[in-house]
Amino acid sequence: MPLGSVCERVVRRAATDTLVVKRTEFSLQGPIVAALDGSHLSFEGLRAALSLGQALGLPVEAVATYDPYLHQALFEGLTGVLSPEASSVFRLSEQEDLHEAIIDKGLGKIYRSHLEKGRQMASEHGVSLEIALLAGKPVEKLRAFVEERKAGLLVMGKTGIHGDPSPDMGSVSENLLRLVSCDVLLCSRLRG
């Protein structure tokens, strides 16, 4: 179901959590999926998902995505434009190995730690939490996960880990709001 322009404007400007109901029939089916990126708002989203899951008797799953392929694409681009001499001075091969060892694999570890923190939060609520770590483009991977799981609700921060404090929406949140078929809860305020 396409998202209307009024809905987009309201969501973009809302200073509070916003539930966007996309389906015409209310259904208590499918898990609640919470998207975690390590931001405060994503963890607030998980708290909301856990509360809703308990109240509605629905399972909650947490998912995190990271893109380990970004640096690979950058290095492939550099390989095509640097001369052999420049590659030697830049030590392209060593730089690429360093990025793979530290950045690419390190990103996976960081996002895994966000999921483990989420699992700990769920445990404190007396809830078991299924987690999934996905590698790839966040919008594509999250959308596929939500659709595959037949989620009834996607909960995420209105802005992500790299978002600024403006009332606007992050690009991943905005794209998922448009693309997923389930209802979406965007968390935009921090609780005490």
For residue 79, the domain's CATH number is 3.40.50.620
DSSP class per residue in 123-168: HHTT---EEEEEES-HHHHHHHHHHHHT-SEEEEESS-TT--SSSS
Distance from C-alpha of 77 to C-alpha of 3, rounded to nearest angstrom: 36
For residue 192, being part of any structural domain is answered with no
For residue 113, being part of any structural domain is answered with yes
Residue-wise pLDDT tens digits, 118-129:
999 999 989 999
Residue-wise pLDDT tens digits, 15-34:
889 999 988 776 778 899 99
Residue-wise pLDDT tens digits, 89-105:
666 667 667 666 666 67
For residue 56, being part of any structural domain is answered with yes
**Number of domains comprising the chain:** 1
Question: Strand 153-157's sheet: what is its strand order?
Answer: 18-20, 183-187, 153-157, 32-35, 60-66, 130-135
Residue-wise pLDDT tens digits, 145-172:
999 999 999 999 998 776 666 668 889 9
What is the domain range of residue 74? 5-187
Residue 80 pLDDT exceeds 70: no
Residue-wise pLDDT tens digits, 27-69:
778 899 999 999 999 999 999 999 999 999 999 999 999 988 7
Identify the helix (H) or strand (E) that includes residue 64.
strand 60-66
For residue 170, being part of any structural domain is answered with yes
**What was the pLDDT predicted at 92?**
63
